[in-house]
Structure 1
Amino acid sequence: MAEIYVSNIAASLLGKLASHVYEEASRAYVVYEDLQGIKDSLSIVNGVLLGAEEKKELRQGLREWLRQIQNVCYDAEDVLDEFECQKLRKQVVKASGSTSMKVGHFFSSLNPLVFRLRVTRRIKDVRERLDKIAADGNKFGLERIGGDHRLVPRREMTHSHVDASGVIGRGNDREEIIKLLMQPHPHGDGDGDKSLCVIPIVGIGGLGKTTLAKLVFNDKRMDELFQLKMWVCVSDDFDIRQMIIKIINSAAYASAPAIATQENISSLDIEQLQSRLRYKLSGQKFLLVLDDTWNDDRAKWTELKDLIKVGAAGSKIIVTTRSNSIASMIGTVPSYILEGLSIENCLSLFVKWAFKEGEEKKYPNLVEIGKEIVKKCQGVPLAVRTLGSSLFLNFDLERWEFVRDNEIWNLQQKKNDILPALKLSYDQMPSYLRHCFAFFSLYPKDFGFTGALIANLWAALGLLRSPVGSQKMENIARQYVDELHSRSFLEDFVDLGHFYYFKVHDLVHDLALYVSKGELLVVNYRTRNIPEQVRHLSVVENDPLSHVVFPKSRRMRTILFPIYGMGAESKNLLDTWIKRYKYLRVLDLSDSSVETLPNSIAKLQHLRALHLTNNCKIKRLPHSICKLQNLQYLSLRGCIELETLPKGLGMLISLRKLYITTKQSILSEDDFASLSNLQTLSFEYCDNLKFLFRGAQLPYLEVLLIQSCGSLESLPLHILPKLEVLFVIRCEMLNLSFNYESPMPRFRMKFLHLEHCSRQQTLPQWIQGAADTLQTLLILHFPSLEFLPEWLATMTRLKILHIFNCPQLLYLPSDMLGLTALERLIIDACPELCRKCHPQFGEYWSLIAHIKHISIGETKARQRLFRIQSQLRLRL
C-alpha cells in the first residue's frame, strides 16, 4: 500500500524543481530543458494522482502505475540531490583558502566535467520514463483533482438505538456524562450566551464514543430532563443545508415518533430551512447528539450554532469526535476523554463475541488464550469484537494461537472491523502527514518517542514541508506531532517545553504497519527475503541478519536499529550496504560492535543522518567521513573508546546536530567554528576535556548538552549568543557559579536542566539573565542546595519547575505568586520542603495553590519523570 504516498513525493519533487537553486544549477550544467520537461510531465501526472490513489484498491494495473510513478519520482529526487551535493562541495573548496589544491585533489573524482556527463544521462533517462508513464495513465480514465481534496471513505451512518444490556464496561462513563448534562452550564460559549452547553466525547476510532452517546441518549432520565431529543450522524461532509435538514427531520420524528412519514423539506431553499429549524427548536429545552464529527471549520460550526441556540436555557449538545482540536474548538466544557475498557471487561466482551452463550465453559483452554488475545486490543471494544468475531464457532486451537501470536494488521479485516475504522482517521489526514505517520511502523510497539528523534528522521528523509516561509525543521515536526496527537493517534504525551515525549497507541501502530507495507519493512526472525521495492527497514530482533537476503537494487534509503542494545555485528554486511545502497539517507548503526568504519563510507553522498551511538569498540573514524557534505546529524554518543575526532570535521558544512564522546583533551576550534549550521552540540563521557572552547565563536548553537564530563572546569556561555537549551549533568569539576561583570548579560535560554551538581548550595546567578525567556527549569540531585534565590520569582515566562532530591532545601521564594505563567510544579525527595508544600495543610500551600498542575512527593509522578528523562538523554 506504500504507493499511497506518491502524491506527497511528487509534490515535494515539484517544489524542488520550482526552486531558484535548481534552476540555476540546471542552466549551469546545460540540463535546463530536460528538467523543465520533467517538471511539465510531473505537473500533468500530479493532477490525477489524488484521484488515482482513491481508486488504487480497485485495479491492480492502476496500483502498478502508481508504483512506477513513485519509483521515477524517487530517482528524480536522487538526481536533484546530486546538484545539492555538487554545490556543497564547491562551498568546501571555496572555504579551503590556501589548501585549495589539497581539497581539489580530495574531490578529484567528482570534477565538473565528470559530473555533467553523469547527471545529464540520468536526467534524460528520468524524463523518458516519466513521459512514458504519463502517457500510460490515459488508459485509466483518471480526472484531475485540485489541491489535497480526496473522496474519503466514511463509516456507515449511525442511529440512536442501543441494547443497553449488551454494552459492557461503560456504566461509569454514562453516569459521568449524565452528571454533566444535569449540571447548569458553568461557563458561556464565548459570546455571553449561557443557554447552550457543548460536551465533546473524544477518543480513538473504535473506542465506543457512539455507544456511550447512545447509552446517554436512551437513558430515561434524559426524557425527564429534556423536552426534545435529536440524534444526527455527521459523518459525511459538514454541509450546513444538510445539517439543518437532518436536525429538522430528527426533531420532527422525536415530536411524533408514531408518524412514519416526514414532511418533504428537501425542496425548500436555505432561508425557508433555517426558519423551519428555528421554529422547531425555539423555546424547547433540547438534547442534540452530533455523532462522528469531523468538521474542523470553525466558521461552519459557528453558523450552525447560531441557528440552533434558540432553545430554552439548559439545552445541551453532545459531540463525538476523534479529534482533540475539534473538541477544543466546539466544546464549552472540558472534553470527556474516553478511556479503554479494563482487561476484565475486555475479556467479557471477547467471550460474548467468540462463543455462543455459555459455550465458553466447554473450552477453558481457548478462554485462557483469549485472555492473551484481548491484551493486544488495548481496551478498544471494536478491536475486541473484531478478534472475537473472527473466532466465532471456530474451536481449532491452532487458529486461536495464530490470532494470539500475529499482529492485528496481519489478520483478515471486514468493512466494520477495527483497522478499517481506524483507517478513516488516517484517510482524513493530508498526504504529507500520512507519509510521516507511516514511519512509526519502523519502531516496536510501546516505543518511547522524543520529539528530537522523530524530527531527525522526518527531516533526514525530506518529509517536512514548511507551509509558510522557511520554518525550522523542529517546529514543522512539532506541528505534525501535534496534529497526530489531536487525532488521538498518540498517547502518554508529556510536554516539557522544548522537549516532548509520546508513545503510539498499539492499534495505531498496527495501522501504521498496515498502510506502510511494501515500502517500509520491519526485519525480524521471520524475515527471509527483503522485497526489491522496500526503501526503509528496521531490525528489531536479535541477530536476524545472518539468514536475510538483502535486495540488490539501490533503492534503500533507511536502515535502522531502533532497539536499545541491539545493533549490527557484521563488518561484511556493513561493507555490502555501503557499496550497494549509495542513496541511503539514514544509517543507524547504534549499539553495533563493528570495530571500524570503511573508508568507503564517503560514497554515501546522500546521507543525512549517521548514528554510531554506543559503538563501544570503535577507536578511530576514517577521515573520509568528512566528505559527507549532506550530513545533517552525526551521533558518536557513547563511543567510549574513540580516541579522537576525524580530521576535517569542519567540512561537514550541513551538520545541524553533533553528539560527541571522545578521549581527546583538546578540540579543534577551527573545525567547530566552520560548522555554520550547527544547532545542537552534545559532549558526553568526554573525561579528558577541561575546556570546550576558548577563542571560537558558535553563533548559531541553540542546544548544548554536557553530561559526565568529569574534568570539565568551565562553561563558555559567552560564546553562545543564541543558546536556548542547556543540559548540565554529572560534571563534578564544573563550577556553575562563575561571575559575570555587571550588568548581568541577557540570555535567550528557554530550557535549563541541571542535575547532580553536588557542590552547588544555591542556583547560579547567571540564570537570572534568562528571566524574560526561561520556560522550563529542572533541578535534580542537588544534595547541598539550601535555598532557592528570591530572584527566581522574577521568571515571568516560567511554565514548568521540577525539583527532585534536594534534601537540604527548606525554602521557596517568598513571592511564588509572582510566577503567574507557572503551570506545572513537581517537588519530590525534598522531605522538609514537601512537608511545607503539602496540599491544604502546608505553610507554603497558599503560595503555590494557584498552579494548575502540582505534584508533591508523588511516587508515580517521580517514576514517570525518571523514565521520560532517560528517554530524552538517549534520544535527543
Structure 2
Amino acid sequence: MPSPRKKKVKECPKFHSLNVLKESLEEKLREKRVLLVLDDVWYNISNSEGREELQKLVSPLHVGKAGSRILVTSRTEAALVTLGAEKERCIPISELDDEVFLEMFKHYALRDARVGDNDRRILEMIAEDIAKKLKRSPLAARTVGSRLRERQTVEFWRSEKDRDLLSDTMGALRWSYQYLDEQVKRCFAYCSIFPRGHHLKRDELVKLWVAEGFINTSGPEQEMEDVAKVYFDELLSASFLELGGKEVSSLIDGDLRDVYYFTIHDLMCDLAEEVAGKDSFRIEKDFTGEVPQDVRYIFVGTYNSKMLTEKISGLKNLRTLIIHPSIQLNSTEWQAFERMFDMLMGLQKLRVLKLGFNGNDLNEYVFVLKDSIGRLTHLRYFAFRMNQRMKLTVPGNFTELYHMQVVDFGDYTELVFSNNSEDMFFRETNEDMMNLINLRCAIPQAIMRFPNVGGLAWLQMLVPFFLRKEQGYELHQLKHLNKLQELGIFGLDDIQSKEEALDANLAGKEKLTKLDLVWVSESCSPEVQAEVLEGLCPSKYLEKLSIDGYHGVKLPKWMMSEHNGGPKNLKELKLESWREPDLALVVLRAFTHLHLLHLRKCSWDALPDMEHLTSLKELGIFDCMNMRLLGTLPKSLDMFIVCHCKPEFERLCIHYWSRLHQRLYTPWKVHI
C-alpha cells in the first residue's frame, strides 16, 4: 500500500481555440509513448468536412515517440482509413453469436418478469422469433427489449413479432418509438436540435420541455416538472437516452458537484431528426444553406452576425433559439451582436431564448437589453450566460413578461435594472420582479433580493432569502411557497421566537430537499437560537442541511432523534461556526444515513467516533483550528478532506487514514 501523500485536485483545462488545444497536446505528448483509444468513431464518407475533422483529431499525436498506438472502433472501415490506418490492419469485429444475442435480448425483455411459468416459456419462444429479426444489433436488442418489458403479455408479444418494422435496426427503433405517448414523442423529437454527442442534463431538459408546453398534467395537483421527469425516465428506460457519465458542474449555491449527463446514440439521433422533420434545425460550422421558414426550434453552434440576422430574424414561427456557449466574441463583435439581438426581438412566438458566449476583455463592457424584449410576451425561458464578468442592463418592462419561468443571467453577470429607457434610473434589484408570478428559478442569486416573494407560488429555488426588519422581507413570506426545492434563509438573528420561526412552515414543504440556515452575527442569545432552530424543523424528506453560526447550547428535538420529526434520511450535513463541543456527538447520533459531512470553522477540539455512520462516503474538516483529536472513522469512507487546520492535526489525519486503509485494502483519497 503506498504511503499517504498530498493530492491536488486538478480541474480539466478549457480551451477556446483548436490551435491552442493542439499546441498544448503536442507539448504534453512530445517524445512520449502513448496509447489512445477512440471508441465508436462516426464518419460520413460523403462529408468532406468530416474527413478534415477526423484528421485534425489525431494530428497532435505525430510528435509522439515511436511505438505509440491508436486503437479505434467504428461502424465503418472508411473512418479507420481516414484516420490513417492501413486496410490490412483493420480487423472486422465479428457479430454476436446467435445464442449470446438471444440471451442479451431476453435480459432486456424479460428482466424482472412477473409472469407464470407457462407464460414465461411462451414469451421465451416468441423472444427467439423476434431476436432473429433484429439481426444481432445490440441497440435494437436493448431498445425493443426495453419496450416489450413494459407489456409482458403473450397476446402483445404475439401481435408484434410479425411486424415488418422489426426487420432492420432503424425499423426496430421506429417500432419502439411508436409506442411512446404523444407528449413523450414530442420531447424526444425536440432533442434533435442538439449536436451529436451533446451532454444533456436532466434538469435542463425538464425546464426546456416545460417552457415549450410539451407537458400534460392530469390535474391541478400534478406539477409539470414532475411529469416531465417521468417522461425523461421513460426515454432513459427505453434507451432513447443513455447515461453518459458525470461531470463537474457549478450549482446555484456555488458548490462544485458531479452531475450526471446523458447522451443520445447516433442511430437514435437519426431517428430524432427523422421524426422532428422540419420543426428542428441546427446551424453548425461553415453553414451556408437555407433555414426552413416554418422551423420551430433552432440550435446555433457557430456565430455569424450577418447569418443570424438574415436567416433567423425573419422566422415568424420560431419557438426555441439556443446559441451554444462555446461561441467566442470580442468587444467589437459584441457591439454587432447587440444590434442583431435587437432584431431578434421580432420573433414574437419565442418561448425559449438561451444565449451563451465566451468573451475576452469585457469587464468594462455594458450590454444593454433594449426594452424591445417586452415584445416577447410568450417567453418562458430566458438565459444570457457569459464565461467572465460583464455588466448587463435590464429594462423595466422585463418584469412584464408574465409567463417567464426561468431567468438565468449566469454567475458572472453584474446586473442593473433601469426603470425605462428615458430616465435610466439604475438599481441592483427590481421590486417589480414579483410580477413574474410563474417564475420557478432565477440566477444569479442576487436577482431575488426583492420584497414580497411570497406571491411567487411556483418558485422552486430561493437561495438566498435575506431577512430584514422591513416590510416584505419577513419570514412569513415563505409560508405558502410549498413548491420550493432549495432554500437558504440568511439573517436569522432577527427571529426571536419559536412561534415566529414556525411562520416559515418548513415542515409543510415536502418538496424541499436542500436547506441552508444562517445566523450572520452574535446578536442572538444561545437560548433564543435554540428556540428558533426548534421552530425551523424541515419536512422528513429533506436530503441536504447546512447550518451556519449556531451558538446554542442545546439542539432542537428534531436533531436529537429521528423519532422527533424532521428529516429521516438526511444525506448531507454541513455545520459552520458551531461552538458547543458536546453537540457534535448528539447531532451525529440522529442522522445515521449521512453520505457527506462537512465541518467548517467549528470550535470543537475533537471529533466523536463515527463508526455508526456506515453510509458516510465523504468527510471534510475546514478551518477548524482547535481540532486536536480524531475519533474512529467509518469503513465506508472513501474521501477525507482536511484543509486549513493545525499541522499536527493534519499529520494525525494522514497517519490515521493510512492505517485505516492498509487494514481495509481499499482505494482511498485524502486531500490535505
TM-score, normalising length: structure 1 = 0.44
SS at match of 2:399: helix
User: 1:620 aligns to what?
Assistant: 393
Decide which of 502, 509, 516 is 2:261's aligned counterpart. 502
Equivalence map 1:163-312=2 (5 Å): 212=96, 214=98, 216=100, 294=109, 304-305=119-120
Deviation at 1:481, TM superposition (A): 1.9
Cα distance between partner residues in 2 of 1:525 and 1:689: 55
User: 1:631 aligns to what?
Assistant: 404
Amino acid at match of 2:543: F
- Are 2:477 and 1:659 equivalent residues in the alignment? no
- Are 2:503 and 1:741 equivalent residues in the alignment? no
User: 1:490 aligns to what?
Assistant: 242
User: 1:773 aligns to what?
Assistant: 567
User: 2:353 aligns to what?
Assistant: 587
- Are 2:430 and 1:646 equivalent residues in the alignment? yes
Deviation at 1:825, TM superposition (A): 6.5
User: 1:828 aligns to what?
Assistant: 640
Equivalence map 1:706-717=2 (5 Å): none
Cα distance between partner residues in 2 of 1:661 and 1:689: 20
User: 2:230 aligns to what?
Assistant: 479
Whether the aligned pair in 2 keeps the contact of 1:669 and 1:693 (CA below 8 Å) is yes
- Are 2:349 and 1:465 equivalent residues in the alignment? no
SS at match of 1:744: helix
Cα distance between partner residues in 2 of 1:741 and 1:595: 48
Deviation at 1:752, TM superposition (A): 1.5
Cα distance between partner residues in 1 of 2:285 and 2:552: 54
Normalized per residue, the structure richer in helix is: 1
User: 1:576 aligns to what?
Assistant: 343
Cα distance between partner residues in 2 of 1:838 and 1:325: 49
- Are 2:388 and 1:598 equivalent residues in the alignment? no
Query: What is the Cα-based RMSD across aligned positions, in Å?
Result: 5.5
Distance 1:329 1:426, change over 3 A: closer
Cα distance between partner residues in 2 of 1:810 and 1:511: 56
Whether the aligned pair in 2 keeps the contact of 1:609 and 1:631 (CA below 8 Å) is yes
Amino acid at match of 2:668: G
1:593-647 deviations in whole A, cap 9, x for unaligned?
Answer: 8711111222211111122344844443211112111112222342224342234
- Where does the alignment leave 5 or more consecutive residues of structure 2 unmatched? 1-71, 74-91, 125-137, 153-164, 250-256, 359-364, 417-426, 617-633, 643-649
Amino acid at match of 1:555: N
Equivalence map 1:776-787=2 (5 Å): 776-778=570-572
Deviation at 1:212, TM superposition (A): 4.4
Deviation at 1:681, TM superposition (A): 2.2
- Are 2:451 and 1:669 equivalent residues in the alignment? yes
Whether the aligned pair in 2 keeps the contact of 1:640 and 1:663 (CA below 8 Å) is no
SS at match of 2:298: strand
Equivalence map 1:524-543=2 (5 Å): 524-528=284-288, 529-541=290-302, 543=303
User: 1:559 aligns to what?
Assistant: 321
1:456-486 deviations in whole A, cap 9, x for unaligned?
Answer: 1111011122357642222212212221221
Deviation at 1:504, TM superposition (A): 0.9
SS at match of 1:620: strand
Amino acid at match of 2:338: K
1:642-682 deviations in whole A, cap 9, x for unaligned?
Answer: 34223422221222222345499xx4423x23323323224
Whether the aligned pair in 1 keeps the contact of 2:325 and 2:355 (CA below 8 Å) is no
Whether the aligned pair in 2 keeps the contact of 1:523 and 1:544 (CA below 8 Å) is no
Deviation at 1:454, TM superposition (A): 1.3
Whether the aligned pair in 2 keeps the contact of 1:682 and 1:705 (CA below 8 Å) is yes
Deviation at 1:561, TM superposition (A): 2.7
SS at match of 1:463: coil
Cα distance between partner residues in 2 of 1:619 and 1:289: 55
1:703-761 deviations in whole A, cap 9, x for unaligned?
Answer: 33669x9x9988997535245133659x9958899823189232125231659x7x899
Whether the aligned pair in 1 keeps the contact of 2:405 and 2:439 (CA below 8 Å) is yes
Deviation at 1:434, TM superposition (A): 2.1
1:500-546 deviations in whole A, cap 9, x for unaligned?
Answer: 633114424454345434211222233333211211112223x2343
Deviation at 1:556, TM superposition (A): 0.6
Distance 1:216 1:618, change over 3 A: closer
SS at match of 1:740: helix
User: 1:694 aligns to what?
Assistant: 474
Whether the aligned pair in 1 keeps the contact of 2:529 and 2:551 (CA below 8 Å) is no
Distance 1:764 1:559, change over 3 A: farther
Amino acid at match of 1:501: Y
User: 1:609 aligns to what?
Assistant: 381
Amino acid at match of 1:305: R
1:119-169 deviations in whole A, cap 9, x for unaligned?
Answer: xxxxxxxxxxxxxxxxxxxxxxxxxxxxxxxxxxxxxxxxxxxxxxxxx99
Equivalence map 1:417-436=2 (5 Å): 422-436=173-187
Equivalence map 1:742-821=2 (5 Å): 744-745=534-535, 746-748=537-539, 750-752=542-544, 754=546, 765=555, 768=559, 771=562, 772-773=566-567, 775-778=569-572, 789-795=585-591, 798=593, 801-803=595-597, 810-813=607-610, 815-816=612-613
Cα distance between partner residues in 1 of 2:658 and 2:147: 35
Cα distance between partner residues in 1 of 2:380 and 2:406: 6
Cα distance between partner residues in 2 of 1:693 and 1:783: 25
Whether the aligned pair in 1 keeps the contact of 2:166 and 2:175 (CA below 8 Å) is no
User: 2:513 aligns to what?
Assistant: 725
User: 1:190 aligns to what?
Assistant: none
SS at match of 1:650: helix
Amino acid at match of 1:794: A
Cα distance between partner residues in 1 of 2:494 and 2:98: 65
Cα distance between partner residues in 2 of 1:289 and 1:506: 18
Whether the aligned pair in 2 keeps the contact of 1:705 and 1:727 (CA below 8 Å) is yes
1:554-596 deviations in whole A, cap 9, x for unaligned?
Answer: 10101113436768941222221112x1111111234488711
Normalized per residue, the structure richer in strand is: 2
Query: Sequence identity, in percent?
Result: 16
User: 1:85 aligns to what?
Assistant: none
Q: Which moved more, 1:546-555 or 1:769-778?
A: 769-778
Cα distance between partner residues in 1 of 2:458 and 2:561: 24
Cα distance between partner residues in 1 of 2:379 and 2:668: 47
Distance 1:304 1:806, change over 3 A: farther
Whether the aligned pair in 1 keeps the contact of 2:595 and 2:615 (CA below 8 Å) is no
Whether the aligned pair in 1 keeps the contact of 2:199 and 2:261 (CA below 8 Å) is yes
Amino acid at match of 1:588: K
Distance 1:432 1:308, change over 3 A: closer
SS at match of 2:262: strand
Whether the aligned pair in 2 keeps the contact of 1:538 and 1:562 (CA below 8 Å) is yes
Specify the structure having the higher radius of gyration (Cα).
1
Count residues in correspondence: 468
SS at match of 1:829: strand
Cα distance between partner residues in 1 of 2:436 and 2:213: 19
- Where does the alignment leave 5 or more consecutive residues of structure 1 unmatched? 1-167, 170-207, 218-230, 232-287, 310-318, 331-413, 846-853, 863-876
Amino acid at match of 2:281: L
